[in-house]
Amino acid sequence: MSKKEKYTGPERRSNGWHLDKRVPITLIAAIFLQGVVFVYWGATLASQVGYNKDAITALSPTGERLAGIEAQLRILVSRWSERSRRTRQP
């Protein structure tokens, strides 16, 4: 049996998949590089989400303080408008 007969035929092709020699190495490298970039992007995104979560948690008391300041400002404005009405009346 010659080498040509040994490696041709349906039994060789049914042993799983194979990569054709016509597929350029640059295509394989590009697909691999895309996978690496995708994993890097996902890790960076997860890091940014964690940072934003920590920043929002740190700013949460600021929002509560702002609500208290707004309430106090409303009280002051209402008192001021009431006093200005009193001084305008003869």
Asked, for residue 58, whether it belongs to a domain, the answer is yes
| Domain assignment of residue 74, given as a range | 26-88
Asked, for residue 33, whether it belongs to a domain, the answer is yes
User: What is the reported pTM?
Assistant: 0.46
Nearest CA among 11, 32, 15 for reference residue 23: 32
Asked, for residue 83, whether it belongs to a domain, the answer is yes
Asked, for residue 7, whether it belongs to a domain, the answer is no
Helix (H/G/I), strand (E/B), else coil: 31: helix
- Give pLDDT tens digits for 49-76: 999 999 888 877 777 788 889 999 999 9
Cα 81 to Cα 87: distance, rounded to the nearest angstrom = 10
Average pLDDT score over residue span 39-58: 93
Quote the number of domains for the chain.
Answer: 1
14: Cα separation from own chain's centroid: 43
Question: Which tokens belong to 3?
Answer: 């080498």
Asked, for residue 8, whether it belongs to a domain, the answer is no
Cα 80 to Cα 77: distance, rounded to the nearest angstrom = 5
